Structure 1
């Protein structure tokens, strides 16, 4: 996928989308989304942007799609489609990852909301649950190639039972990226245990909630936060989902046919002096024995196997994830 002149997918924001987003997010006490229902039955898809307020690519791509739908440049031919450009208006207004806390952790509706993100969840969760498929558009802190994230393989376990892995993987393969990662919740639970916590609802984000409601979900990490090209990646992913599900006649990106990498390990920052050994980017290759980071006391953290670095965060707070490791798919 590219944002060059030969691509139908457009990089960078536009004045029209910026104006729409400014209007739609003017009051952080109000969530804005748009829904369309064709008279011909078909699948239902919900697409969400800006779960984190500093991840702007999805919001711009979805605002553009809303404008296209309203002016007939994009037409829903069957099924239902809901677009939520800014899921966290407070964080968006603040230009921060969180409003009062991370919306993508503990995405579980409460009868007694305790913070801003709880109140968002109470309104947004039923919207997600009313659809079959979720596409959640994100970006990341450091440079790197875009990738999609899927959940568990089919299982009947207690933590995240799931039986729609084939549909979920098909969606991930249709989004125009050539990297897929699986196994988020298992590794996030490992991070919780490393912090001395018991895995609980803290690991539940939009995707995990969607699966708990009988649907399936894919997150796509579209690139670095401020990269204009990430907007084109987000738009490409939206079109790929629409084409796969037969919701609209749109250009579809090439399907990815390779294997998925699997998340295996997470390393936390234990002290302010813990540092990454180099300027890692998401999906950088690392060889077994290669130094990834150095503890404040001088201990070298080496890769235990050949794999990929994901979500390196040189500015992570103490107790938070410094980096993840994934092993190549087989």
Structure 2
């Protein structure tokens, strides 16, 4: 009898990378999915488009399209968010002369040089709580020290085309504020701040731009379609395919303004929240284990409520309507 096929291990994992290059030069778009192993919609959307490109029903007119359907094979094999850690944090190559610290560092050592070859990133995700799909963008143009950026208009145009009813800004600002909140009075820890870097932060640091698309709840049967349509939308916007663009209502733009950590496993939400549930000033959001009541300090929206958050990690974000114009 033949020997049974051994179970795959982290050492045997391989990143599948699908690349399509038109003969006419043009934009270089990279699409990623499966950065978190339990987020499968991007993988399904990419495989569908890959079949269309292979069979010729979709033709790439110019530029280069690279798709990574499963960016974290270990997390996907385990069907959980992380392999050894969150791949969408500390998304940077290992410093020269050092050994990769973990499995995800080995992945970034492959993925970062690949991103360096591209201009635009579309990173496809989903989320745990109920809620509608939305896009996340980076900062406005600035020359500050946290996240200097000069391509906000292009990034905003991409977000507008992805078909969501909402676009959210403000991730790295709020991540940095969360660090200060956990360590009041201390200088901002640069190593901890670097941990807040994800795929798009890396892409912007290399002169490109990127949008994260949260395609809906993990198990939402519509999420793969959202991912698939978004890839087509990006290709259309960049002039890489010839397709009619649907007429869309402009999305509502929100800005993250705070993050609240779960301090104890007994901290509980006041009710089952969904992403983008509206909250009125003074409304009770949750209760701490010691009986303290958390109330909204203004009108706004709950984002990424996680009733399963571990103590010491992000419990929920809070957003308000933004005055930014895309």
1:1-150 alignment to 2 at 5 Å? Answer: 29-110=13-94, 111=96, 112-150=99-137
Partners of 1:35 and 1:235 in 2: CA distance: 17
1:120-155, CA deviations, whole angstroms, 9 ceiling, x for partnerless residues? 000011111211110000000011010000000000
Partners of 1:284 and 1:151 in 2: CA distance: 22
Pick from 172, 175, 181: which aligns with 1:185? 172
1:161-220, CA deviations, whole angstroms, 9 ceiling, x for partnerless residues? 000000000000000111000010010112222333724210100000000000000001
Partners of 1:105 and 1:37 in 2: CA distance: 30
Pick from 251, 254, 268: which aligns with 1:261? 254
Please, what TM-score do these two structures have when normalized by structure 2? 0.91
Pick from 148, 160, 163: which aligns with 1:176? 163
Does the Cα contact within 8 Å between 2:164 and 2:251 map onto a contact in 1?
no
Question: In the alignment, which residue of structure 1 is the partner of 2:321?
Answer: 328
1:171-320 alignment to 2 at 5 Å? Answer: 171-196=158-183, 198=189, 199-320=192-313
What secondary structure sits across from 1:181 in the alignment?
strand
- Residue-pair matches, total: 307
CA positional deviation for 1:256: 4.6
Q: Sort the Cα spacing of 1:49 and 1:27 in 2 relative to 1 into closer, same or farther, 3 A.
A: farther
What secondary structure sits across from 1:161 in the alignment?
coil
Does the Cα contact within 8 Å between 1:176 and 1:253 map onto a contact in 2?
no
Root-mean-square deviation (CA, aligned residues, Å) is: 1.7
Unaligned runs of 5+ in 2: 1-7
Does the Cα contact within 8 Å between 1:260 and 1:328 map onto a contact in 2?
yes
What secondary structure sits across from 1:61 in the alignment?
helix
Partners of 1:28 and 1:116 in 2: CA distance: 12
Q: Sort the Cα spacing of 1:253 and 1:294 in 2 relative to 1 into closer, same or farther, 3 A.
A: farther
What secondary structure sits across from 1:260 in the alignment?
strand
1:23-53, CA deviations, whole angstroms, 9 ceiling, x for partnerless residues? x999852111111111112111100000000
Does the Cα contact within 8 Å between 1:32 and 1:84 map onto a contact in 2?
yes
Question: In the alignment, which residue of structure 2 is the partner of 1:18?
Answer: none
Partners of 1:206 and 1:251 in 2: CA distance: 30
Partners of 1:200 and 1:179 in 2: CA distance: 27
Partners of 1:136 and 1:157 in 2: CA distance: 25
Does the Cα contact within 8 Å between 2:165 and 2:252 map onto a contact in 1?
no
CA positional deviation for 1:247: 0.7
1:301-328, CA deviations, whole angstroms, 9 ceiling, x for partnerless residues? 1111111100000000001111000011
What secondary structure sits across from 1:200 in the alignment?
helix
Unaligned runs of 5+ in 1: 1-23
What secondary structure sits across from 2:129 in the alignment?
coil
Does the Cα contact within 8 Å between 1:307 and 1:327 map onto a contact in 2?
yes
Partners of 2:195 and 2:120 in 1: CA distance: 22
Q: Sort the Cα spacing of 1:28 and 1:278 in 2 relative to 1 into closer, same or farther, 3 A.
A: farther
Structure 1 ranges of 4+ moved more than 4 A: 24-28
CA positional deviation for 1:255: 3.8
Partners of 1:282 and 1:299 in 2: CA distance: 23
Please, what TM-score do these two structures have when normalized by structure 1? 0.90
Which one has the largest radius of gyration?
Answer: 2
